[in-house]
Chains A and B, each alone.
Chain A
């Protein structure tokens, strides 16, 4: 049965790594629904968060294949219940539309959105939340005339934070011992 999974992984900050990862997903015909890449808590280590829909069996297979890549440090697979996730979205709306009725008030009170910039022509609104909340706000703003809409991929934190922390610590330690003569590792 297909379901949504969040794949979080840590990689070295090397050229081409994203390409290697997407090759594995492409080969299995798995579509990436969202992807976010940024530096992790450890300097020099990138964190990637991808959302995919597939079967439990397949997600484990691709996770193992991704983890096998030389530059990938660790891969975690989570169901939506196991994570707290957020996305961010920006909406550019016509000022005239947004100023009509009680739109502005509802925007802040009901949707907990922020206003980033106001000009005579347009207003830029920012919203953090789940995919549904962001889509919900888009529907709410639609009557005002949405000039532009962008949303990020998902970022996620696990509910059982222990395993991630353990790995981050391991990476930190490895970083510190990296310049020790190689005999240490033999």
Chain B
């Protein structure tokens, strides 16, 4: 606090604040941006920043993960829960490259995360110095924007831009690489939020003519279907989506990341789209005469075979990222704008219609799916424990209001299918990338956002062991995540594909697992193991009531399959309901 000794008169004279280091400037910028939590891992090049961090510990909480990848996923989850950009620190070289999976994951799922990497001293850049890597070049294809800073005085502007770009328009990860000498050097600090970049225009003028066209198409449609994606949540358009659906009597199907955008117990909720989605919305996509796609990008897991996708439908695409429009599916009306703005303008123009006949078609197919798939999966009375029944029990006990984190694979699809997400819920999952190992670090990041709701992580035995070291982080900070380990001793999704498409040849998918109870014990984390159906519900109740972190291992059916399934290359209406 030596700087404060300078008198007011002295400051008056220079007109500027006294000099601070680049490292301190970075931290001040973060405070200005409303950051309170940073996930990261120190190392040589970033030491000046970590040193200053000690002085800022009252304003900035740093969570030391056990691997940079964990920090990246945690920062993303923090952003998904709080709605504010996550922040992640890593050092140069391996620290930076270890982030890459996490950066790419945030990029594909449009989550705002500001990654700060340290770089070797500017004079050494380009010389293959110790722990030097071209993280700018490496991260270019998976960041919304990135920049390198080699002068302390450039830090505030770079950070201001980073936050503005990360959270505006279609959000995404950004990376600022700061050389070690810039962290040490002094600057006259002043901060101005960035609100404008000439070459970047995230706010688009609403074209009322397009909105009117959309309304005409909706009002004349007999079988309209809304496809709601992550964009609905990112733009805060859940209320508007509900109002539109209710006024127009339009069923709402959701993508994986769009599931919490619409209450899953609503009579107009049609279920999840795509490969392991629900029967009705997949079949009826190909009978709809109008598709209203909102904040989604027609991913191949959603559309199945594009040549046979929605042949009878005209398509309205409401999407903030122009590059996503007409990328995979040719649309009839493109509305390149923020979902909330568009829906708010659209609702008054949509006629109040009840489309009971069309809704009934969903109910009929729902019944078929219930009898053939859902009931045996969620209400079995014999055999081994099923993933679906575990998820359903948690859903019932939390009334669909929890923050749910998942890893990737069969259990993720079980969660998507059987957790009944409310508007209060959050789903933190790896959609576009399908990153195994995401679940555990994501859950601790989500819980660090103080959501005021329980944070429950569903993780398979494969993904759990990819980032299992983050149990150490959970232990150190006593982060109250409830981990449900669904253990089938297989890499279940790959095994399912081997069974279905590779003649049952189980190549490297069976796992010999450690004693997870002993592992949890080593980290001082409360744990319990369930093998019998009769114990399941009580075990979940105990877990939910426990204070602090908790691991509930559930031993489940080894070779169960996730169904229904739109097989690769098949049309969405060609859904496999049962296998064998």
Contact = CB atoms under 8 A, between A and B. Distances in A.
Interface of A: 11-12, 15-16, 19-20, 23, 27, 60-61, 64-65, 67-68, 70-73, 171, 174-175, 178, 182, 185-186
A71 B199 CA distance: 5
Nearest to B144: A70
Interface string B135-147: 0110011001100
B136 A16 contact: yes
Contacts of A19: 137, 140
B579 interface: no
A147 B418 CA distance: 74
B323 A70 contact: no
B7 interface: no
B198 A61 contact: no
Given A20-B140, A61-B326, A12 B199 contact: yes
Interface stretch (B189-197, B397-405, B547-555): B189-197
A64 B326 CA distance: 10
Contact of A178 (B192, B198, B323): B198
Contact of B199 (A64, A73, A182): A73
Interface string B72-95: 000000000000000000000000
Nearest to B174: A70
B322 A182 contact: no
B165 interface: yes
B321 interface: yes
Contacts of B322: 64, 67-68
29 contacts: A11-B199, A12-B198, A12-B199, A15-B148, A16-B137, A19-B137, A19-B140, A23-B140, A27-B141, A60-B326, A61-B323, A61-B326, A64-B322, A64-B323, A67-B323, A68-B321, A70-B165, A70-B197, A70-B200, A71-B199, A73-B198, A73-B199, A171-B198, A174-B198, A175-B198, A178-B198, A182-B194, A185-B196, A186-B195
B327 interface: yes
Nearest to A174: B198
Contacts of B195: 182, 185-186
Contacts of A15: 148
A65 B323 contact: yes
Contacts of B325: 64
Contacts of A60: 326
By size class, the interface of chain B is 20 to 34
A11 B198 CA distance: 10
B269 to A, nearest CB: 32
Interface in B42-56: none
Contacts of A20: 140
Most buried by B among A70, A175, A178, A186: A70
Given A174-B198, A178-B198, A23 B326 contact: no
Interface in B111-167: 136-137, 140-141, 144-145, 148, 165
B196 A23 contact: no
Contacts of B199: 11-12, 70-73
Interface string B197-229: 111100000000000000000000000000000
Given A64-B322, A178-B198, 13 more contacts: A19-B140, A20-B140, A61-B327, A64-B323, A64-B325, A67-B323, A68-B322, A70-B144, A70-B199, A71-B199, A182-B193, A182-B195, A185-B196
Nearest to B321: A68
A47 B144 CA distance: 22
Contacts of A182: 192-196
Nearest to A74: B199
A67 B336 CA distance: 14
A68 B204 CA distance: 13
Contacts of B145: 70-71
Q: Please name the 6 residue pairs, one residue from A and one from B, whose CB atoms are nearest each other, closest first.
A: A64-B323, A185-B196, A73-B199, A70-B145, A182-B195, A65-B323
A67 B323 CA distance: 8
B326 to A, nearest CB: 7
Nearest to B161: A70
A182 to B, nearest CB: 5
B169 to A, nearest CB: 9
Nearest to B200: A70
Contacts of A178: 198
Contacts of A67: 322-323
B198 A16 contact: no
A64 B328 CA distance: 13
A21 B445 CA distance: 34
Nearest to A181: B192
Most buried by A among B165, B321, B323, B326: B323
A12 B198 CA distance: 9
A71 to B, nearest CB: 5
B160 to A, nearest CB: 10
Contact of B141 (A23, A70, A73): A23
A182 B196 CA distance: 7
Nearest to B145: A70
Nearest to A27: B141
Nearest to B201: A73
A97 B556 CA distance: 85
Most buried by A among B136, B165, B200: B200
A182 B157 CA distance: 13
A88 to B, nearest CB: 29
Interface in B320-341: 321-323, 325-327
A48 to B, nearest CB: 13
Nearest to A65: B323
Contacts of B198: 12, 73, 171, 174-175, 178
Most buried by B among A68, A72, A178: A68
A19 B137 CA distance: 8
Contacts of B196: 182, 185
A45 B325 CA distance: 28
